[in-house]
């Protein structure tokens, strides 16, 4: 599906224009005189590497961050956006990259938080609340019980509740920051269909994504930011993917998946008969040194649950785990870590980082015992270790003491990876390792995976991106309803075979 032929967007005046927007944080100029506009009935895709300024620009527009300089016009009228509520009053709705739902509230309560329907006595009309929430979710093609607590929903379901929450205000401009990062292909199609309905009604959409294949599917125009500056705006049909990559990275990227195969070494991990309720049903596989084992599957297939059970983050009911030849009883992540196993979790914000700590504190955390003597931390050694991995992973930060919660999503992901590499683990369970990471940084991660496998590490890579799965895996496991449905060698795997197995058919 492509929206590029929308006649409404072609001649429409800007719904919102931003001129000369500047924003600086201590040690970092996030936005340096950026110009940007979006028209009614248009999807304007915003691209750029991590730290380019995309999310900061949209946070300025949504009222979450105050600009230092520049002008914002809504329907031609200059406005000073005083906060998120003011932005909503102006018809600007925002879906942030990081989920903002309150886990203890139901899906319906989250969707209408602050704007609940009330009865004459001022009491919340819960019947209408659930009915209206169900209607919004149904319009998105989502099967979510409006009464279920948000914290009990999966990441993809939470993402769709965020979309419904934004649409509940009937915005005239909708900002979507990486809305498909946790969605399956089917759910992405449902979201794109909803966007098509919105633009047909004249709603303007700003769409931030790192998935370049989505540009042609969803966009009318595309703008690129680099290092806090606007570098180009094109109509979607007038620019190639290769040119967009060059504009974002200011360099040519010859190969998206620079896989380097190395001789397979000894077995480093074996899982036999892993079970956990209906989530995992008799999962077995092996991993060798020098190997990337890709794991595919649709939402609910059990991929994340498998990784968490191996790491000891979730209790397993049955199964045997062998690490480097020893049968081990992994009861906690600490047990797995002592055996050299690290987990890059699907949800980095709540499971992989301590957001209130610095970059240094997060990266050094698993290595604290090794960096200490008689209970005293070797500060110089700690800083040297952290600086090495910050430099190697090109983490964009104002300094080692910057609070990790203030980094962009992609740089937060790199910090999670850095802490395990600094700790010296040689078995990595990577759950969606490049989610929310720009195309240039993805190649860097792939090159790092190449280096790790060349040095004898074993990697389990769980990913929802089929090109990444096919491009970087040596073998592929396909899971369906808690079981391994198929195992494919890289040379025999195709998108069609993987999808068939993921849907429960023979590959």
Place of tokens 């890289």: 490
Half-sphere exposure of residue 482: CA atoms within 13 angstroms, side-chain side: 12
CATH of the domain at 207: 3.40.50.300
How many angstroms separate the CA atoms of 166 and 158, rounded?
13
Is residue 160 within 8 A of residue 194, CB to CB? The reply is no
- What is the spatial order of strands in the sheet that 458-462 belongs to? 341-344, 427-431, 458-462, 292-297, 475-480, 483-489
Question: 13: closest CA among 34, 36, 35, 38?
Answer: 38
Beta carbons within 10 angstroms of residue 330's beta carbon: 20
Instruction: Please report which residue ranges of 241-378 form alpha helices under DSSP H.
Output: 241-249, 303-311, 333-338, 359-364
Which of 109, 139, 170 is a domain's end point? 170
Which of 396, 424, 452 is a domain's end point? 424
Tokens matching residue 458: 């074993």
Q: Does residue 350 lie within any of the structural domains?
A: no
Sorted by sequence, the CB contacts under 8 Å of residue 11 that are 6+ apart come out as none
Sequential pLDDT tens for the chain (507 residues): 445 445 455 556 799 999 999 999 877 788 999 999 999 999 999 988 767 888 899 999 999 999 999 999 999 999 999 999 999 899 999 888 777 899 999 999 999 998 888 987 788 899 999 999 999 988 877 788 999 999 888 777 888 898 889 888 889 999 998 888 767 777 788 888 888 988 998 999 999 987 788 888 999 999 999 889 999 999 999 998 888 877 876 655 555 788 888 999 999 999 999 999 888 999 999 999 999 999 998 767 899 999 999 999 999 999 999 999 999 999 998 899 899 999 988 877 778 888 889 999 899 888 877 777 777 878 888 889 899 989 988 888 888 999 998 887 778 888 998 998 888 899 999 998 887 677 777 888 898 899 899 999 999 999 988 888 999 999 999 998 899 999 999 999 988 888 788 878 787
For residues 401 and 440, state if they share a domain. Answer: no
Q: Does residue 96 lie within any of the structural domains?
A: no
Question: 357: closest CA among 419, 441, 410?
Answer: 419
Instruction: Give DSSP secondary structure letters for 263-297.
Output: ---SEEEEEEEEEETTTEEEEEEEEETT-EEEEEE
For residues 496 and 440, state if they share a domain. Answer: yes
Q: What is the pLDDT of residue 178?
A: 82
Is residue 34 within 8 A of residue 228, CB to CB? The reply is yes
Place of tokens 């429960």: 504
For residues 224 and 81, state if they share a domain. Answer: yes
For residues 7 and 61, state if they share a domain. Answer: yes
Task: Please write the tens of the pLDDT for every residue from 309-334.
Answer: 999 999 999 999 999 999 999 999 88
Say if residue 403 is exposed, middle or buried (CB neighbours under 10 Å; 0-12, 13-18, 19+): middle
Beta carbons within 10 angstroms of residue 398's beta carbon: 14
How many angstroms separate the CA atoms of 270 and 327, rounded?
9
Q: Does residue 214 lie within any of the structural domains?
A: yes
Is residue 400 within 8 A of residue 387, CB to CB? The reply is yes
For residues 316 and 432, state if they share a domain. Answer: yes
Q: Please give the residue range of the domain that contains residue 81.
A: 1-91+173-255
For residues 87 and 109, state if they share a domain. Answer: no
Alpha-carbon distance values, 438 to 57, 267, 414 (Å): 17, 33, 12
Bridge-partner residues for 323, per DSSP? 269, 326
Which of 255, 275, 296 is a domain's end point? 255
Q: What is the pLDDT of residue 160?
A: 83
Bridge-partner residues for 47, per DSSP? 224
For residues 272 and 380, state if they share a domain. Answer: no
Task: Please write the tens of the pLDDT for every residue from 272-300.
Answer: 999 998 889 999 999 999 999 999 987 67
Is residue 300 within 8 A of residue 341, CB to CB? The reply is no
Q: What is the pLDDT of residue 189?
A: 84
- What is the spatial order of strands in the sheet that 318-323 belongs to? 280-288, 267-276, 318-323, 326-328
For residues 85 and 184, state if they share a domain. Answer: yes
How many angstroms separate the CA atoms of 210 and 47, rounded?
7
Q: Does residue 349 lie within any of the structural domains?
A: no
How many angstroms separate the CA atoms of 398 and 79, rounded?
31
Q: What is the pLDDT of residue 277?
A: 87
For residues 84 and 183, state if they share a domain. Answer: yes
Alpha-carbon distance values, 404 to 340, 364, 424 (Å): 25, 13, 21
Q: Does residue 260 lie within any of the structural domains?
A: no
For residues 121 and 155, state if they share a domain. Answer: yes
Q: Does residue 287 lie within any of the structural domains?
A: yes
Sorted by sequence, the CB contacts under 8 Å of residue 396 that are 6+ apart come out as 28, 50, 51, 407, 408, 411
Report field, pTM of the whole predicted structure over 0.95: no
Q: Does residue 364 lie within any of the structural domains?
A: yes
Number of domains observed in the structure of the chain: 4
Bridge-partner residues for 431, per DSSP? 462
How many angstroms separate the CA atoms of 500 and 8, rounded?
39
How many angstroms separate the CA atoms of 257 and 247, rounded?
19
Instruction: Give DSSP secondary structure letters for 380-447.
Output: HHHHHHHHHHHHHTT---S-TTSBGGGS-HHHHHHHHHHHHHHHT-SEEEEESTTTT--HHHHHHHHH
Q: Does residue 348 lie within any of the structural domains?
A: no
> Is 63 in a helix, a strand, or coil?
coil
For residues 182 and 330, state if they share a domain. Answer: no
* Dihedral sign for Cα atoms in the order 407, 409, 414, 420: positive
Q: If you ran DSSP here, which 8-state letter would residue 60 be given?
A: H
For residues 186 and 297, state if they share a domain. Answer: no
């Amino acid at each position: 599906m492509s929206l590029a032929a929308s006649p409404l967007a072609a001649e429409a005046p800007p719904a919102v224009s931003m001129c000369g927007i500047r924003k600086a944080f201590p040690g970092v100029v996030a936005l340096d005189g950026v110009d940007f506009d979006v028209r009614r009935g248009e999807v304007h895709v915003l691209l750029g590497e991590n730290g380019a300024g995309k999310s900061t620009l949209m946070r300025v527009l949504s009222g979450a961050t105050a600009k230092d300089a520049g002008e914002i016009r809504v329907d031609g009228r200059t406005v000073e956006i005083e906060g998120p509520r003011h932005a909503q009053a102006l018809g600007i709705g925002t879906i942030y990259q990081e989920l903002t739902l309150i886990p203890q509230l139901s899906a319906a309560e989250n969707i209408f938080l602050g704007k609940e329907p009330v009865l004459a006595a001022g009491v919340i009309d819960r019947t209408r609340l659930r009915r209206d929430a169900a209607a919004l979710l149904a319009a998105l093609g989502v099967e979510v019980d409006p009464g279920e607590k948000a914290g009990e929903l999966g990441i993809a379901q939470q993402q769709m509740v965020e979309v419904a929450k934004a649409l509940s205000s009937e915005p005239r401009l909708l900002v979507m920051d990486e809305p498909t990062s946790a969605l399956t292909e089917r759910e992405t199609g449902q979201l794109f269909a909803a966007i098509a309905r919105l633009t047909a009604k004249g709603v303007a959409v700003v769409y931030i994504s790192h998935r370049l294949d989505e540009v042609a599917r969803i966009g009318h125009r595309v703008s690129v930011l680099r290092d806090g500056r606007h570098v180009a705006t094109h109509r979607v049909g007038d620019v190639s993917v290769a040119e967009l990559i060059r504009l974002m990275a200011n360099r040519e990227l010859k190969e998206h998946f620079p896989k380097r195969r190395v001789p397979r070494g000894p077995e480093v991990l074996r899982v036999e008969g892993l079970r956990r309720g209906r989530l995992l049903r008799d999962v077995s596989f092996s991993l060798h040194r020098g190997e990337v084992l890709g794991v595919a599957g649709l939402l609910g297939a059990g991929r994340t649950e498998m990784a968490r059970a191996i790491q000891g983050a979730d209790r397993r009911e049955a199964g045997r785990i062998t690490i480097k030849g020893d049968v081990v009883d992994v009861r906690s992540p600490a047990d797995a870590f002592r055996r050299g196993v690290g987990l890059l979790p699907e949800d980095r914000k709540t499971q992989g980082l301590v957001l209130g700590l610095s970059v240094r504190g997060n990266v050094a955390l698993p290595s604290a015992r090794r960096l200490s003597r008689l209970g005293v931390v070797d500060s110089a050694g700690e800083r040297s270790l952290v600086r090495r991995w910050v430099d190697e992973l090109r983490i964009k930060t104002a300094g080692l003491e910057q609070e990790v919660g203030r980094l962009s999503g992609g740089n937060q992901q790199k910090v999670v990876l850095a802490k395990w590499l600094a700790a010296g683990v040689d078995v990595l369970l990577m759950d969606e390792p490049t989610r929310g990471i720009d195309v240039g940084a993805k190649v860097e991660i792939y090159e790092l995976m190449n280096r790790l496998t060349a040095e004898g590490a074993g990697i389990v890579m769980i990913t929802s991106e089929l090109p990444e799965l096919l491009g970087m895996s040596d073998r592929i496991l396909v899971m369906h309803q808690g079981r391994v449905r198929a195992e494919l060698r890289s040379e025999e795997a195709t998108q069609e075979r993987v999808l068939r197995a993921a849907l429960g058919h023979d590959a």
